């Protein structure tokens, strides 16, 4: 039940979260490659990650594997450097943590969400 309310909170804040994330990425001088892709591609990438995070928080451990396949392949195809991809993932993680903190989510759930992003970055570093 708790996880269900967390995923509902993330879903309710999804558009605002993704919009503020994209604004930050577009204004960050270290995000040169990501700033060159279309807004819809960036929204699609962030949206997929958010959907995967929700599934992961609901207990679907395999979702993280599918997500790093998708993120890795997408960033490779769009020529986004690994360092920039990792940095962008941590920016998204911080936005998620802000939403979860405002929702007074349990520390265990916030830790699990952070673990999702950590696993995603670590797997990308291993593979590429």
Q: Which domains does the chain have, with CATH numbers?
A: 2-127 (1.10.490.20)
Residue 62 in tokens: 């395999």
pLDDT at position 1 is 44
Whole-prediction pTM:
0.90
Q: Are 78 and 33 in contact (CB under 8 A)?
A: yes
**Shortest CA distance to 96 belongs to which of 84, 76, 31, 88?**
88
**Shortest CA distance to 53 belongs to which of 125, 118, 127, 122?**
118
For residues 75-97, give the mean pLDDT: 94
pLDDT at position 64 is 83
- Measure the CA–CA gap between 27 and 74, rounded to whole angstroms: 21
Task: Give the tens place of pLDDT for each residue, 9-62.
Answer: 788 889 999 999 999 999 999 999 999 999 899 999 999 999 999 999 988 888
H helices of the chain, where?
A: 2-12, 14-27, 39-57, 62-77, 82-102, 107-127
């Amino acid at each position: 039940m708790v996880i269900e309310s967390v995923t509902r909170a993330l879903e309710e804040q999804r558009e605002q979260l993704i919009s503020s994330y994209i604004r930050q990425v577009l204004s960050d001088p270290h995000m040169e490659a990501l700033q060159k892709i279309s807004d819809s591609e960036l929204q699609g990438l962030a949206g997929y990650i958010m959907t995967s995070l929700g599934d992961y928080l609901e207990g679907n451990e395999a979702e993280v594997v599918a997500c790093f396949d998708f993120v890795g392949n997408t960033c490779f195809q769009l020529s986004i450097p690994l360092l920039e991809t990792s940095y962008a993932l941590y920016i998204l993680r911080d936005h998620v943590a802000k939403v979860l903190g405002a929702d007074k989510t349990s520390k265990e759930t916030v830790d699990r969400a952070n673990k999702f992003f950590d696993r995603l970055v670590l797997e990308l570093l291993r593979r590429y």
